[in-house]
Amino acid sequence: MRDQYLKIMLFSIIILALCGSCSHRSHSMLLQKTDIRPILNPNEGALKYQTTIDLFKNHFSGILVAKQIDSTHAHLLFISEIGMKIFDFEMTKDSIHLVSAFPGLESRPKAIELLKSDLGLIFLNGIYNKPASWIRDSTSSFATIWIDFRQRDGKRTNIYITNSETKRIQRIVQKKGIRKKIQVGYDQKEGLGPQSIVLRHKGLIHLTMMMRKLD
Amino acid sequence: MLRSYLLLAGLLIASFAIAQKSDYKPMKDTTGFKNKIDLMGKSTNTIESDFVQVKDLSMMSEKITSNGHFCFKKENLLRWEYTTPYKYMIVINKDKIVIKDEAKTTHYDMNSNKVFKEINDLMIASVQGNILKSGKFKVVFLESDKDYKLELYPLIKGMKESLKKINMYFDKGVTSVIRLEMEEPTGDSTKIEFMNKKLNAEIADAKFIVK
C-alpha cells in the first residue's frame, strides 16, 4: 500500500515537473540595466542601512553606506554606530576590492573574501553585459510577472528574480549544483533603494546580514 | 577580540564633539588648567546630556547624523545611548559592559577581558576629562578667548592606525568636556556636540542596569 502511494506521488511529481517546463520558455540574452535596475546609480545619493552581520559566533552591528561615486566606481563602507570605520570596499564594473579594514579584520582574509562576495551579490556587482537566460512565468496568478535571470559564475548559478514592471530586484538565489547556497531577499517600495535586505547562507557557512534602510 | 578592538576605538570616538573654528594659541597656564581638571573630576558626581553625533565621510561627501543621550555616575556607571535614526546602547556598570543593538544584547565581564578594562578606563576618563592622565596620548594644550582645547595624539600602536588626533574642548570655567572631535588618517571625522547638560543631578542606579 505504501509503495503504491509512493509510486503515485512520484508519478505526480514527474507530471507536474513536465507541465511546469512546458509553461516556461528559456531565452538567452545579454543582461542589461533595463532588465534589472541597478541598486546604486551615479546621480543618486548614498543609501544608508542599519546593518547587523552575524558571522559564525561574531555579531557586528553598524551603518552600511553604499554610494555610486561615478559611472564606474561605488563604495560600500561599514562603520560602527559610534563612528568607527570597520571596512571599505570599492566596487568597479566587474570587481570588488578591499580599500581598508579595521586592523583586527584585515588579518582575517577569509572573512574579507566572504564579505566581499556577499556584498557584491547584494549590490549586483558585475552582472551586466553578461550572458544570461530568462524565464517568464506566464502561469503566475499575480499581476506581477516574475522573471528569473540565470548566470554562470564559476560553478555557481545566480538566479535573479525581478518585478517585471519596476525591474527592481526582489530575490537572489545562489546555487552550487542543486543546493541553495545563499538567498538574498529585498523589500522594494517606492523611492531610492530597497527598504530592507536580508542575506542568508545555507549550509556550513553561518553568515547572515540584515539591513534596514535609514531615512 | 575583533569586536573588542572595534568597541575600544569606537568608544573613544563616542566621547568626542564638535570643534568651533577659533584661533587657538598655546595655553599659558597649563598647571592651573590641570588643577581645574582635577577639581572638575572631584566635584562631578553625575553628568547627564543629550548629544548629536556627526560622522563626516569625506570621500563620499556624506554625513551621518545621529542623536542620543548619555548618563554618567561616579564611580563607574555609564550609559551611552543612540536613539535616532537607530537604537544602540552601551552600558558600563562597574565590572560589566552591556551592548545592545537592534538585534542583540550582549553582556561582557570586564575582568575577563583586558580590552574591555581598557575601554572602561578610557571611556570614564574621557567623560570626566582626565584622559590626559592616562599616558596613552601626547597632549598639546591650547586656548582661545572662548574655550580650552586639548589635542590628543595617540601613542598606542593599533590606535595610531585608525586615529590621527582627538580634539577635546572645555569651557573657560572647566566644568565639563563640552565638545570633542576625532580625526582619522583618511580625512574622515566624527564630531559630537553635547547639549542640555546637567551636572550633579540625581540619576537612579536603575539607569545602568540592562537585562
pLDDT digits (tens, 9 = 90+) for B181-209: 989 888 889 999 999 999 999 999 999 99
Grid coordinates of A31: 543582461
Cα A84 from Cα A87, distance rounded (Å): 9
Q: Which of A81, A91, A106 to mutate to test the interface with B (most CBs of B within 10 A)?
A: A81
Is A50's CB within 8 Å of B102's CB? yes
pLDDT band at A143 (very low <50, low <70, confident <90, very high): very low
Instruction: Answer yes or no: are the C-beta atoms of B136 and B163 closer than 8 Å.
Output: no
Mean pLDDT in residue range A22-38 = 78
Distance from the Cα of residue A104 to its chain's centroid:
27
Distances (CA, A) of B66 to A70, A88, B12, B192: 27, 20, 16, 9
What is the average pLDDT score of chain B? Answer: 83
Cα B86 from Cα B98, distance rounded (Å): 17
Residue with cell 556577499: A118
* DSSP code of residue A170: E
What is the average pLDDT score of chain A? Answer: 83
Residue B163 sits in a domain of what CATH number? Answer: 2.50.20.10
Is position B39 within any domain?
A: yes
User: Tell me, what amino acid is at A173?
Assistant: V
Is residue B206 packed enough to be buried (19+ CB in 10 Å), middle (13-18) or exposed (0-12)?
A: exposed
Instruction: Answer yes or no: are the C-beta atoms of A58 and A208 closer than 8 Å.
Output: no
* Residues linked to residue A187 through DSSP beta bridges, in sequence order: A196
In total, how many domains does chain B have? 1
| pLDDT score at A58 | 84
User: Tell me, what amino acid is at B142?
Assistant: L
Interface check for B9 against chain A (CB to CB < 8 A): the answer is yes
Mean pLDDT in residue range B169-176 = 88
Q: Which domain holds residue B47?
A: 2-201
Cα A132 from Cα A138, distance rounded (Å): 19
Nearest CA among A124, A115, A114, A102 for reference residue A170: A124
Is position B163 within any domain?
A: yes
Cα B74 from Cα B51, distance rounded (Å): 20
Is residue B170 packed enough to be buried (19+ CB in 10 Å), middle (13-18) or exposed (0-12)?
A: buried
- A1-10, long-range: CB < 8 A, 24+ apart: none
> Residues A148, A154, A155, CA angle at the centre, nearest 5°?
80
Grid coordinates of A78: 561599514
Interface check for B60 against chain A (CB to CB < 8 A): the answer is yes
State chain A's maximal CA–CA distance in angstroms.
66
| pLDDT score at A138 | 63
Is position B108 within any domain?
A: yes
Cα A46 from Cα A75, distance rounded (Å): 9
pLDDT band at A149 (very low <50, low <70, confident <90, very high): low
The three-state secondary structure class of A70 is coil
Helices (H), B14-135: 30-43, 114-128
Taking the CA atoms of residue B40, residue B45, residue B48 and residue B49 in that order, the dihedral angle to the nearest 10 degrees is 10
Residue with cell 598647571: B31
Cα B62 from Cα B66, distance rounded (Å): 13
Instruction: Answer yes or no: are the C-beta atoms of B81 and B70 closer than 8 Å.
Output: yes
Interface check for A99 against chain B (CB to CB < 8 A): the answer is no
Interface check for B103 against chain A (CB to CB < 8 A): the answer is yes
Residue A25 falls in which region: left (phi positive, over 0), alpha (psi -120 to 50) or beta: beta
Q: Which residues in chain B touch residue A214, judged by CB atoms under 8 angstroms apart?
A: 85-86
Is position B211 within any domain?
A: no
Q: Which residues in chain A touch residue B182, judged by CB atoms under 8 angstroms apart?
A: 83
pLDDT tens sequence across B45-77? 999 999 999 999 987 788 999 999 999 998 889
Cis status, amide bond into B75, omega within 30 of 0: yes
Cα A79 from Cα B77, distance rounded (Å): 26
Taking the CA atoms of residue B26, residue B27, residue B31 and residue B32 in that order, the dihedral angle to the nearest 10 degrees is 180
pLDDT band at A61 (very low <50, low <70, confident <90, very high): very high
Minimum distance, in Å, between the CA of residue A199 and any CA atom of chain B? 15
Choose the CATH number for A26-213 among 2.60.40, 3.30.70, 2.50.20, 1.20.1070.
2.50.20
Is position B210 within any domain?
A: no
